Structure 1
Amino acid sequence: NGRRSSYSTNYINNAVRPASIAGANYNLGDNQVVWAAGWGTTSAGGSASEQLRHVQIWTVNQNVCAQRYATVGDTITANMLCSGWLDVGGRDQCQGDSGGPLYHNRVVVGVCSWGRGCAQPFFPGVNARVSRYTAWIQSNA
């Protein structure tokens, strides 16, 4: 009959709540502790995780990130936020984490986007910088 049904289930409880997103003026400095969460692989080419995982990483200076990616012809813009364990490696977002959150003090500041491999010392992970999209997110929520 052309009718559409919509279903809504409330999953909000003591363990689950809506995320706060970074506002347009959210100032996130270099080398700040951030956390990434996801169901992605734990190594490049590995299998997806069977449990939700999270990892502590750090924000990376925008110019440093841009210079490193420029060595392989990739561009980092102001709409991007780099994170990882620079010059150490071993911690990062990986395949299957794309679209997942990067958060700082319980505020979503990034959305996992791309990188070169996973957890590489030279190449940090690249996220969409939420503060650059706040108005769009709010108008489409």
Structure 2
Amino acid sequence: MTVTGPAQYHLLSLPDGSCETVSCLASVIRCRATVPTVIVDVTAVQRLSIDALAVLVRKAMRLHAADGQLLLAGPCPAVRKVIERTGTGPLLPVFTDSTAALRALAEDGRVWHHVELPAGRSALFAEPPPPEL
């Protein structure tokens, strides 16, 4: 299989594991992501609620539908345990840090480049259609 296009990713930090913070991160990805591969640095997260995990899983599924993925870098043992117990590991692969996540991405032979999120709207996700009146 030949992979075309630039190999780019966004790197975002998650300051805590509350559902509100994770929902905000998911909204930022939806509104501003320009590439479908996102590495989320979760080293600061000590606890991840089930609701927050559900938000991450939904976002990972959306990114997967756009031929991308969401990777978690640096989860503490408690976060790893939640992911293992819920069986969400295939959707949310975890890595010791962002460097390890990049090494895993590079296994396809491409060189990956970090891309900052732009200030404008996303070109990745289409806006939902307006409601019919």
Shared topology, TM-score over 0.5? no
**Structure holding more helix per residue:** 2
- Alignment TM class, shorter chain as reference: under 0.3
RCO higher in structure (CA 8 A, sep ≥6): 2
- State the TM-score, normalizing by the size of structure 1: 0.25
Question: More strand per residue: 1 or 2?
Answer: 1
TM-score, normalisation: structure 2? 0.26
